[in-house]
Amino acid sequence: MKILVIGGNGTIGKRIVEHFSTNHQVLVAGRSSKKYPIDIADTRSIKRLFKQIKKEGKVDAIICAAGEAKWAPFKDLSEADFHIGLRSKLMGQVNVVRYGRKALRKKGSITLTTGVLADDPVYQTTSAAMVNGGIHSFVQAVALEMKKQHRVNVVSSGLVMDTLDKYESYFPGHPPIPMARMVLGYVRSVLGRVNGEVIRIYEAA
Ligand SMILES: NC(=O)c1ccc[n+]([C@@H]2O[C@H](COP(=O)([O-])OP(=O)(O)OC[C@H]3O[C@@H](n4cnc5c(N)ncnc54)[C@H](OP(=O)(O)O)[C@@H]3O)[C@@H](O)[C@H]2O)c1
């Protein structure tokens, strides 16, 4: 398969790339990628990359492991702060589906990324949790309209092991997710047949 991974140099993305690279052709995209530059918060940039991919040859799968949202206490979040998550993690990923479809082969899949905050938020995450929940609803709804041409799923994992040092104190009592376990969510979406599924990975085993 030919698989595009947006955010493929990130903590989660690089594990996904590592895994699929053993048996598949993987294209790594991100804001700082020279070959496949994309900023998902910028619609023109999304259109440009998918136009380039379509020209080079369509892909079998698109994985997005990128997207930001502002963390802060609710009382301190301005409307502009909320817009960071809406523009990047929410609309950015919606636009990856809107424009990515055009660069996707028949029967191809798109896999988005959210996280446990959608179901089990912690302090300071009103924006991030809201955006994750929005993507979950979007994926279930958009899958109904794919007419068996394409599949769309989202992987929602808990705090992953590789970022434990940085974020552990924000997630009291949350089980850290081993990286290999997290990757299985993407494998299920890309190689399986599921469609419109929120693939929740909240337990370590
Ligand atoms: N870490 C966790 O425990 C965890 C758990 C569940 C879900 N998540 C979610 O998974 C996603 C990735 O998390 P992560 O920990 O891997 O983050 P990360 O280490 O910061 O990596 C993010 C990657 O995405 C790229 N990126 C960031 N913003 C982008 C944009 N606007 N357009 C295109 N590429 C962009 C970055 O590269 P460039 O800077 O080159 O663009 C980087 O390669 C996030 O949405 C996060 O909320 C994380």
For residue 205, tell me if it sits in a domain: no
How does pLDDT run across 4-17, given as a tens digit for each residue? Answer: 999 999 999 999 99
CATH number at residue 98: 3.40.50.720
Q: Is the shortest distance between the CB of 84 and ligand 1 below 6 Å?
A: no
Total structural domains within the chain = 1
The answer to whether the Cα torsion of 190, 194, 197, 203 is positive or negative is negative
Domain-embedded: residue 43: yes
Nearest residue to 134 via CA among 168, 176, 87, 175? 87
Distance 191 CA to ligand 1 centre (A): 22
Alpha-carbon distance of 193 to 151, in angstroms, equals 8
Q: Is 177 in contact with 160 (CB distance < 8 Å)?
A: yes
What residues of the chain score a pLDDT lower than 50? Answer: none
**Residues in contact with 78: Cβ distance below 8 Å, sequence separation at least 6, in sequence order:** none
Specify the ligand 1 atom closest to the Cα of 40.
Answer: 32
Task: With beta carbons less than 8 A apart as the criterion, state whether 150 and 103 touch.
Answer: no
For residue 173, is it left (φ>0), alpha (ψ between -120 and 50) or beta?
left
Give Rg (Cα) of the chain. 16
Which residue segment(s) compose the domain that 128 sits in? 2-200
- In tens, the pLDDT along 89-114 reads 999 999 999 999 999 999 999 999 99
Output the CA 11–ligand 1 centroid distance in Å.
7
Q: Cα of 68 to ligand 1 centre, how many Å? A: 7
Q: What one-character DSSP code corresponds to residue 169?
A: G
Distance CA 31, CA 59 (A): 19
Q: Is the CB of residue 68 below 6 angstroms from any atom belonging to ligand 1?
A: yes
Q: How confident is the model at residue 24, as a pLDDT?
A: 98
**Residue 188 located in a structural domain:** yes
Instruction: Tell me if 132 CB under 6 Å of ligand 1.
Output: no
**pLDDT given at position 148:** 83
> How many other C-beta atoms are found inside a 10 Å radius of the C-beta of residue 34?
5
What is the distance in A from the centroid of ligand 1 to the CA of 30? Answer: 9
